[in-house]
Amino acid sequence: MSGLTLDPVLVARARELAARAAAPVIDLARTHTTVSVERSVLRLAGLTGTDPLLGDGEVPWVNRVVDAVREQVGLESGVALPVWHALSAGQAPSLAALAEQVGAGTARFTVPTGADAERAQEAARSAVGAGIARIDANRARREELVAALGDPPRRPWIYLIVATGDIYEDIPQAQAAARAGADVIAVIRSTGQSLLDYVPEGATRTGYAGTYATGENFRLMRAALDEVGAELGRYVRLTNYASGLCMPEIAVLAWLERLDMMLNDAMYGILFRDINPQRTFVDQRFSRMVHARAGIIINTGEDNYLTTADAVDEAHTVTVSQLLNERLAHEAGLEDWQLGLGHAFEIDPDRPESFRLELAHALLARGLFPDAPLKWMPPTKHMTGDVFRGYLLDGFFNLAGALTGQGILLVGMMTEAVVTPWLSDRDLALRNVRYVLDAAGNLAEDFAPQPGGFIDARAHTVLTEAVGLLERIADHPQGLIQAIADGTFGITRRSPDGGKGLDGVFRKGPDHYDPALELLSKEPAGV
């Protein structure tokens, strides 16, 4: 518990308004599909690889097939019906062979009706079901490993980033970080990958400010962390990013390779990568259904708002975004234990009472979401290059995390905004975290703000402001999409019809069929 005296009527009102504000977005996601959602269907059915005749191996077969279906019959009916109709009719012996016909320009697609449509549905359901069965097995395997090796002995989990651009350099750094105390390894994605409308294939060694998210890179890092986890006697979790134009596909690839957490915010790509809002909301619903089934914890990106807006004046927008992310996640099937809702330690440290304000905001998040493993982000905006001051700020951040019962603590670097951290920087940062968490112990049990005092009153003010903003969003016919257009979050304005990827969004026709959506909506056996 947070120890705050939150008004239960106000809290209930906030959630009611969040549901109303999110309703138009949910309706949009249910009634539309995208090229990436349709490509995910083919990935679940086992289609891999790239067309060797195009783009030096950079054009995946899933892109080629979906593009061919789109050109010949449109995507309003989905990709499953025309593809498995072609297979059922004997046009090709396998999905891979059909893809090669697409590459040769000989594949022909039609949308079946009647008994032909029923046969195509049955065949598609069987093929996609095999992929989902593999993923269910991965979830069961994770649970077996956690039971055998054990979880970290304390919360919050220590979350550390590695990403050199070269997956083979990332692996030893990740293993070293785990040996030094990290519980969760996050591999930052290569700059600009979210703007690619395809997922690169294979192991990569040339990323910029990060490493490409690919199925093979996921597999390699998962194996490396399993190896070091067995050595250490505890399960080490792996995180990557399911966002951008290929959000659903990356979610599927993560699932297929047993990742444990994924960055998956409802609005990050819209605000910070200028990806079209409609494309993003359709893709995020599908990706969150995948994460729900896989038992993956999502991490949301509210901390990013505070890098562009004032962390005190705009604190209520973080709360609003958390409530909206919660509503969208629940609708897609995620449970509270899977909601790594984001917030950050970004108040100007020169501001009087800054630490008390940080505690108020962190306790508000903990009080609103008592069962969520909140992801607490370290200072970045006000890091100046003074490594001694930065190390002290990170210590205060770690103390705030211990005092307020955060679930996932991202390790702050004293060289933030100066250089890409060296291994020695990470080692010092991990020592800082370990010292504070060991010294503070379960201090959260003893820390209770005075009712009506500074911290309690500040939390109530932020919640009241959040309810006021939610009322304005909920009362608008377009709800959340219009709030984004108005610059509500992170002061960035994004038009409903602007940004990248709108041409890949399609309203579903009356005969649209997606076997993945059908199967993801069902409870997995044995889970």
Which of the listed residues 128, 144, 170 is the one where a domain comes to its end? 128
Mind listing the pLDDT tens digit for each residue in 217-266? 999 999 999 999 999 999 999 999 999 999 999 999 999 999 999 999 88
Any domain includes 89 = yes
CB distance 429 to 414 below 8 Å: yes
Q: Which of 268, 394, 425, 500 is catalytic?
A: 268
Check whether 281 has a pLDDT greater than 70.
yes
Any domain includes 470 = no
Check whether 487 has a pLDDT greater than 90.
no
Which of the listed residues 105, 128, 151 is the one where a domain comes to its end? 128
- pLDDT, mean of residues 16-36: 96
Check whether 490 has a pLDDT greater than 80.
no
Q: Which of 212, 375, 381, 514 is catalytic?
A: 375
Mind listing the pLDDT tens digit for each residue in 382-403? 999 899 999 999 999 999 999 9
Any domain includes 404 = yes
Residue 123 and residue 269 share a domain: no
In this prediction, residue 308 carries a pLDDT of 79
Check whether 491 has a pLDDT greater than 80.
no
> What is the spatial order of strands in the sheet that 342-344 belongs to?
339-340, 297-299, 261-263, 237-241, 184-187, 157-162, 408-410, 375-377, 342-344
What's the domain range around 315? 264-456
Mind listing the pLDDT tens digit for each residue in 213-228? 999 999 999 999 999 9
SS3 342: strand
Residue 268 and residue 124 share a domain: no
Location of structure tokens 């518990």: 1
Any domain includes 518 = no
Q: What is the percent of the chain where pLDDT is above 70?
A: 98
In this prediction, residue 1 carries a pLDDT of 46
Long-range contacts of 517-523 (CB under 8 A, 24+ apart): 517/286, 517/289, 518/125, 519/125, 519/128, 519/129, 519/132, 520/132, 520/289, 520/290, 520/292, 520/293, 520/333, 521/289, 521/333
- Going by their DSSP bridges, the two strands 505-507 and 32-34 should be labelled as antiparallel
Any domain includes 301 = yes
Q: Kindly state the greatest CA–CA separation across the chain.
A: 74
Mind listing the pLDDT tens digit for each residue in 335-357? 999 999 999 999 999 999 999 99
Q: Give the residue from 60, 38, 56, 57 showing the smallest Cα distance to 48.
A: 60
Residue 429 and residue 284 share a domain: yes
Mind listing the pLDDT tens digit for each residue in 156-181? 999 999 989 999 999 999 999 999 99
Any domain includes 343 = yes
Any domain includes 54 = yes
Confirm whether 303 is a catalytic residue: yes
Q: What is the percent of the chain where pLDDT is above 90?
A: 82
Quote the mean pLDDT of the chain: 93
In this prediction, residue 34 carries a pLDDT of 98
In this prediction, residue 337 carries a pLDDT of 97
For residue 405, give the CATH number of its domain.
Answer: 3.20.20.440
Question: Higher confidence at residue 149 or residue 424?
Answer: 149
- pLDDT, mean of residues 424-430: 90
Any domain includes 64 = yes
- pLDDT, mean of residues 423-446: 91
Check whether 149 has a pLDDT greater than 80.
yes
pTM: 0.94
Residue 452 and residue 308 share a domain: yes
Q: Which of 303, 425, 456, 514 is catalytic?
A: 303
Check whether 122 has a pLDDT greater than 70.
yes
Confirm whether 268 is a catalytic residue: yes
Calpha distance 482→478 (Å, rounded): 6
Which of the listed residues 426, 456, 486 is the one where a domain comes to its end? 456
- Number of structural domains (the chain) is 2
- pLDDT, mean of residues 441-469: 93
Handedness of CA 58, 63, 64, 70 (dihedral sign): negative
